[in-house]
Amino acid sequence: MSDIYALIGSRIREERTLRGQSIEKLAEAAEMASSFLGSVERGERKLSVLTLDKISRVLNTQTSDLMTLQGKRPMEAWERRSISLIKSLPDSSKEPMFKILYCLAKNLRLAKQ
């Protein structure tokens, strides 16, 4: 199997476990067999772009995030969790949450000085 499929599979597993989701729950939500998803995560099976898109939607992440190639710094777990949390909010809450985070970061920088 091509390295890209192993990379995608490992990224799917990483994002799934980061969210505390079982393979069965992800497979059910993405409307696929858990055995197929397990094979994908191990890099043993190929998946279509449509399947990759379905998985990324269930994981609330960008399809491109599941295809991170060498040379690009992968996001830290706390970065992915933060983004996932903000993405899960209703649209009306995203801007206020950003303002809160901005003020918090600004105050933390001032406290360090």
With 0-12 / 13-18 / 19 or more C-beta atoms within 10 angstroms meaning exposed / middle / buried, residue 39 is middle
Q: What is the DSSP string of 55-101?
A: HHHHTTS-GGGGGPPTTSPPPPHHHHHHHHHHHHS-HHHHHHHHHHH
For residues 14 and 20, the answer to whether their CB atoms sit within 8 Å is: no
Structural domain boundaries enclosing 110: 75-113
Say if pTM beats, i.e. exceeds, 0.85: no
Question: Can you give the pLDDT at residue 70?
Answer: 46
Question: Can you give the pLDDT at residue 17?
Answer: 87
For residue 88, CA distances in Å to 15, 33, 46, 92, 96 come to 14, 25, 29, 11, 14
Q: What is the pLDDT of residues 58-108, one digit of tens each?
A: 998 888 888 876 445 667 778 878 888 888 889 999 889 888 988 888 888
Based on the domain organization, do 33 and 6 belong to the same domain?
A: yes
HSE (CB half, 13 Å, CA atoms) of 85?
Answer: 9
Question: Can you give the pLDDT at residue 47?
Answer: 93
We report the CATH number of the domain holding residue 24 as 1.10.260.40
Q: What is the pLDDT of residues 32-44, one digit of tens each?
A: 999 999 999 999 9
Based on the domain organization, do 65 and 82 belong to the same domain?
A: no
Based on the domain organization, do 61 and 22 belong to the same domain?
A: yes
Question: Can you give the pLDDT at residue 2?
Answer: 65
With 0-12 / 13-18 / 19 or more C-beta atoms within 10 angstroms meaning exposed / middle / buried, residue 10 is middle
Based on the domain organization, do 60 and 16 belong to the same domain?
A: yes
Pick from 52, 50, 58: which is nearest to 19 by CA?
58
Based on the domain organization, do 69 and 28 belong to the same domain?
A: yes
Question: Can you give the pLDDT at residue 13?
Answer: 92
Q: What is the pLDDT of residues 2-31, one digit of tens each?
A: 688 998 999 999 889 888 899 999 999 999
Report the C-alpha gap between 7 and 42 in whole angstroms: 9
